[in-house]
Structure 1
Amino acid sequence: MKKIIFKGPYHFNQIDHKEKNILGIEKIKLNVPGIYIWGFMYSKKDNTVFNSLDCKIETNKKYDGRNMQFIPYYVGKKTDSIFDRINEHYEVRSNSNSIKYTRLSYDYLKEFFKDHSFPINIGKSYINDFIRLGYENKVNYYNHLGFLCTKYRVNMNKLIKNGFVFKSILDVPIVDYNFLNDKDTLYNLVGKENYNNFWFCFAEFSCNKKLIKTYLESFETLTYYSLKGKTISKTQEFSKILNDIKIEDATNNSNIFNKDENGQICQIDFNNLLEIPGY
């Protein structure tokens, strides 16, 4: 049985960029292979989630499970350095991948993870689902020309008439469209001059290349379906989770994993539930 152990949640400012570990905790190194979960911190009271926290305020950069709730947004894997990948995700207006991440409305960010209609990204095209969510003002941006042309018809028509050149139907980064600047909720949350609200948990994995090739993608899938809710990240189908792997929760009581009556992490088939737990 192979296992990984999750630690966190940590605020981005807790990273020691020189040593590539968590500030003041040398043994928690980030320059390692493994699985990571990044997302946002919200205030909560009596298990009810309220608003995203302004983490420019120093006291909001220290996790307190009594009145703070980490909401995962993305699950990923890295075969060499989680440190490098976390830094790429943080650059939501400059990294070539991050500028194409889905941007949800502020209200929907507090509920998308338990919404049955929010698509699970298993490599299929869900453009019609996202267009519908766009019409409902739940999704501000999705990396698909059809979504932008449908939701923002007037703006897109103006660009087309002015000779704007599109790269491809699946290459429409948000930074290419000035009219979407005030719709970029991801940047408003993450940007250090805005809410500076970028948190993550992670679990390191063996540096053995054979083990990485055999297990790392399955651990990413297992992590996705072990959370209490969905994320925007790509994953495999639930049925592809291997039987000989497990994850353990050593996070600081962040209440993000689904657990059985014995406190053991268990998986959720989001497509076959009457109600998704959420956070």
Structure 2
Amino acid sequence: MTLCSAPAQASGPSPATKATAAPSATTVLRGRASWYGSYFQGRKTTSGERYNRFKYTCAHKTLAFGTRLRVTNVKNGKSVVVRVTDRGPFRHERIIDLSEIAARPLGITECGAATVVAEIVAADTPLGPATTPDNLAALFAADPDPEAAYTTYTVPTAVDQVAPTETPALIAAARVASKEVVTATESTNCPAGFLIQAGSFVDAANARTVQARIKSLLPNVEVNLSQELLDGRQRSRVFVGNFNDRPEAEAIRQRLMGWGIGGMVREVALR
């Protein structure tokens, strides 16, 4: 994406707030991401660049070449920043094709494809693996049409939690339902889900107390105890839920934190 110089301004001070103000909204894309590897190595992309599977690039149907995206796998929370250099993908209602090196940290090379949230970021954002957005759960929950195969929408910049009065603006959505674009082979070797570990206790009575409190606060969420032997001592761990996606688990973890209950999200072992 080419950046042009700003037109000359009249003499006198210019409002600094306008020159440095951040965008009021972030454009978000939610949908399935796939990848392409060595077969395309060295081939010319639509932008004219040669495809290099060891560079952090991607293909998108319409975004301007050079646009940078922070792409996050909602299943495992891993993120990467890539640059648009090609057009596609053109099948299975995918929203983005990632280069091999970009797909690997997200776990997409093993899964074949994955549901992602992609945010348009500043042109000077470093390419490569990135930190998971702090507001990933809010970005994912803000989707105005979660049943569609893909959506594009805007949310307030740096939103931590989308307020009911701040309805996200839907830009585009697929006519196909999201469940119709996931094939059976894409779930191979992918995480089964996520749990919240809400505490590890030597005294089982303390664990049962925490379990009972969480059940009273979240009556529709599964809360279990796990007994494990660690360093010769019996420990009781409290596990909350079995969530399909990390954003869902993170949203519940944040609610628990608001009630004074700490915890961390753990990925369930592969099935």
Report the TM-score when normalising by structure 1: 0.24
- Higher relative contact order, chain-length normalized (CA < 8 Å, sep 6+): 1
Report the TM-score when normalising by structure 2: 0.24
- Structure number with higher strand proportion: 2
- Structure number with higher helix proportion: 1
